[in-house]
Amino acid sequence: MALIPAGMPLRVVGDVHGDARAFAFAVATAPERFIVQLGDLTDGGPDSAGALVIALALLKEGRGLFLLGNHERKLGRLLAGRAVKTDTALRATAAQLDERLRGRALAAIASAPAWLGCGGAFFVHAGFHTAMLHHAPPPFDAKPEGALSRALFGEVARQRSPDAFPERVLHWVDRIPRGLTVYCGHDNRSSDGRPPTVRGALGGEAVFLDTGAGKGGHLSWIDLPPCV
């Protein structure tokens, strides 16, 4: 797993979902920054293979990392030969990968952290859990429960939304400690195309960087100073 280098400013990139062209632009315009991509590189857009190639190059060069998102976990399990419920987007992604890229992608997914702290910033794909402050992420194919489930899928209500998907709720934002900002993706909660910030009851904040890349929206990122 790549670590965030001390003293290096960051560019935090939201869900890519196969929009390799936008991801390439985000990387190319931040040559002096370490890229932290928040997961869900694949599925949805036209070039999931290209998005993976960019992420793998960043890892190899020590210029960035990606977090484990629910789509990476599903792809990794598929590549590892595990039983996976496939859908159109996952099948399209798998069809783009040659054997060499499959092997490289699986190795990178197996090493991708599900969460990562860096000073007053905390990075996770879907949602924060206080256990993340005290425990390292489990293996990517561990049973998705507790903190890992929150990292991959966020928090859902018992009822379903009108589109029949689980209704995602943000109770977890109220558990973010004061002084900590959680940068996450997974939920496109923007009303104006910009990443929204939600402040919790304890004074902590969550910044939602999924603005619909690969799904009819665009890719968002935010630049941060070095971790302290």
Question: The domain spanning residue 42 has which CATH number?
Answer: 3.60.21.10
Tens place of pLDDT for every residue, the chain, 228 residues? 348 998 999 999 999 999 999 999 999 999 999 999 999 999 989 999 999 999 999 999 999 999 999 999 999 999 999 988 888 999 999 999 999 999 999 999 999 999 999 999 999 999 999 999 999 999 998 999 999 999 999 998 766 656 556 778 999 999 999 999 999 999 999 989 999 999 999 999 999 999 999 999 999 999 999 988
Q: Could you tell me the residue range of the domain that residue 56 belongs to? A: 10-224
CA dihedral sign, ordered 92, 93, 96, 97 = negative
Q: Encode pLDDT of 41-98 as tens digits.
A: 999 899 999 999 999 999 999 999 999 999 999 999 999 999 888 889 999 999 999 9
121: closest CA among 1, 2, 4? 4
Total structural domains within the chain: 1
Does residue 220 belong to any structural domain of this protein? yes
Residues 6+ apart with CB under 8 A from 29: none
Does residue 2 belong to any structural domain of this protein? no
Tell me the HSE value of 105 on the side-chain side, using a 13 A CA sphere: 29
Residues 9 and 223: their CA atoms lie apart, in Å, by 8
Does residue 3 belong to any structural domain of this protein? no
Sheet of 34-37, strand order: 64-66, 34-37, 10-13, 221-224
Does residue 208 belong to any structural domain of this protein? yes
Does residue 18 belong to any structural domain of this protein? yes
Does residue 5 belong to any structural domain of this protein? no
Does residue 138 belong to any structural domain of this protein? yes
